[in-house]
Amino acid sequence: MPVSGLTLLIVATLLSNARIAISYIFSLLAAISLGVKAGLDTRAEKVVIPVVDVLQSTPVMGFFPIAVYILVSLFPGWLGWEVASIFLVFTSQAWNMILGVYQSTKTLPGDLLVMSKVYDVSGLPFIRRIALPAAVPSLIYNSMVSWGGSWFFVTASEIISLGSKQHKLLGLGSMMADSAINADYGMLAASVAAMIASMLVVMLFVWNPLLARSGRYGFGPEARLDVYSVDVLVDLLSRISRRISDLLSPISTTATLVGKVVYETFRRILPALALLVAVWAIIVNASGITMGLEAIASPLLAISASLATLFTLGRLTLAYMISMAWILPLSLALMRRRHLYMLSLTSAEILSGIPATIWYPLVIIAIARYGLPPDLGAVLLLVTGMQWYIFFNAMCGIRSVPEEVETMSKVYGVKGRLYMRKVLLPAMLPYLVTGSNAGWGGAWNATIIAEYIMGRGFNYFVYGLGGLITLSTLKGEVAALVFYVIWMAAVVVLLNRTLWARLYGYVAEKVRVEV
């Protein structure tokens, strides 16, 4: 590889990482401010949680052009494109982190809440001393999922088309795309390697030391993690992590200040924003809307949407069952095999980071060649869009089994399925609920790729809500697109109000220990 190519690769790697990091800082602020607020204040909860649910499930990629259009006109020159890219990455990172903080705040032990009330510990001291430390474990694990998942979006957002304009940002994503088009397989391999190396570095130098130190936070036992035990490395890591935990305090201060502003603006501009998008859609696509309205007037669209919802729900349920089928037994296995725990986390972090766009077309081709059922591909992709949220939250959950209970189980020989049912599952429950909620959100989001994909020489479509959304995007039927997206949002809200809200309530009641 020529030197200039190597320099370019290094710069691209740094830039892609920087986009993820900048977006991550915003996600962290949003998570701490909105998550704590929603966990404590039932009024805020009723606004924040449904909005998060809709936003995490809405196929952002579908709306990305609108966001780009707005951001590019707001910020001058290259800045607009950069902001657009970071914004897209943010939409992939923030939601599960907000939900994680929300869950840990909502399940804070009752005696700590009463204590805080009696001694007037509220506002900033409450966040800094109680809510944030309690959220640390969940925040770290959800950060790991978010960081991994960001790679899909950062690579996708580095080539942005807006109408006839196409803008390319220097980064690993655009390098991968370029080298694939130019058939420069050396460069392609190098950029994929650079991406995997980036993930490893972040895992080793950020998440790993943070995990090792997170044992003192949360309500689980002290850290029992076997962090890679190279003494020099551990020493170095713990020194770095001490720096990082020092950083936590200014971050939480900022978060509280930003939190108020974010939450208030959030609440106020939301209706305005919805209106703006609607107006934009109408102005740009007036004719399309009229056509679409006629289509809606005919009950056909609603019928097709209902039918598609059923199909998609079926695939999602299947994907959920597949995810649970490997995650639960693995949790049980890892609970007692601590030495494999960090290894699994690292592997999962890397696997979760590999963008689906790289391997999904291959799966589709294989399905076509071997005459497998077409639904298999879609379900497989949905699994990958769903499982990591559940997996990382489950990994956080297995650390929350109290030490005494663990000892008791060992003494009385409680193991296997009994242990799973009576000890591990109840302890993991809050984390599983959060992971499942975020996982379903991610999977709804993934349906637009899973159910419709176009490749060189093939066209893959399975009937479902996500497929219909992609199809109407491609055909330029804006009205139908808006209709399907709103329909999907409605389905998600309905499911959340009936299913997840109940589960959270149930879990909060079960887990909270009243004095």
Partner 1 sequence: MVGKRFIKAIEDVSFDADENEIVAIMGPSGCGKTTLLKIVAGVEKPTKGEVTYAGRRIDGFRPKVGIVFQTPSLVPWLTALDNIALPLEAQGLPREEGRETAYRYLSLMGLQGFEESYPWELSRGMNQRVALARALAVNPELLLLDEPFSQLDPLTAETLRAELLDLWQVQFASIQSIILVTHVADEAVYMADKIVVLSVRPSRTVALLKVDLPRPRNRWSEDFKRIVDKLYEYM
Q: Which residues bind partner 1 (CB under 8 A)?
A: 109, 111-112, 114-115, 117-122, 125-126, 129-130, 133, 216-217, 219, 222, 502, 505-506, 509, 515
Of 224 and 502, CB closest to partner 1? 502
Q: How far is the CB of 493 from partner 1 (least distance, A)?
A: 19
Return the amino acid letter for 381. L
Nearer to partner 1, 130 or 485 (CB): 130
For partner 1, give the closer residue by CB, 137 or 288. Answer: 137
Tell me how far the alpha carbon of residue 63 is from its chain's centroid.
17
- Rounded to the nearest whole angstrom, what is the least distance from the CB of residue 130 to partner 1 in the complex? 6
Cα(58)–Cα(52) distance, integer angstroms = 10
Q: CA 229 → CA 66, 199, 210, 237, 335, distances in Å?
A: 48, 20, 15, 11, 19
Residue 273 CB, nearest distance to partner 1 (Å)? 32
Distances (CA, A) of 308 to 145, 301, 303, 314: 29, 10, 8, 10
Under a CB-based contact definition with an 8 Å cutoff, are residues 466 and 59 in contact?
yes
Q: How does 335-353 read in b/e, with b if 16+ C-beta sit within 10 Å? A: beeeeebbebbbebbbebb
We find the least distance from the C-beta atom of residue 502 to partner 1, in angstroms, to be: 6
Question: Closest CB to partner 1 among 129 and 268?
Answer: 129
333 Cβ contact partners less than 8 Å away, ≥ 6 residues apart: 340
Closest CA to 430 of 127, 37, 108, 211: 108
Q: Give the residue with the Cβ less far from partner 1, 275 or 494.
A: 494
Nearer to partner 1, 290 or 498 (CB): 498
**Residue 134 C-beta: closest distance to partner 1, Å:** 8
CA distance 264 to 257: 11
Give whichever of 314 and 505 is closer to partner 1, judged by the CB atom.
505
By beta-carbon proximity to partner 1, the closer residue of 222 and 231 is: 222
* CB contact at 8 A, 27 and 147: no
CB nearer partner 1, residue 114 or residue 494: 114
Token duo for residue 229: 């035990």
Tokens at 181, concatenated: 């088009």
3-state DSSP assignment of residue 160: strand
Give the whole-angstrom CA distance, residue 169 versus residue 81. 8
- Please give the DSSP secondary-structure letter assigned to residue 51: H
User: Could you tell me the smallest distance in angstroms from the CB atom of residue 500 to partner 1?
Assistant: 12
Closest approach of partner 1 to the CB of residue 394, in Å: 22
Q: Which residues are bridge partners to 165 per DSSP? A: 162
Min dist CB 327 to partner 1, Å, is 25
Closest contact distance (angstroms) between CB of 133 and partner 1 is 5
3-state secondary structure 18-35: HHHHHHHHHHHHHHHHHH
In order of 106, 215, 398, the CA distances from 221 in angstroms are 20, 7, 10
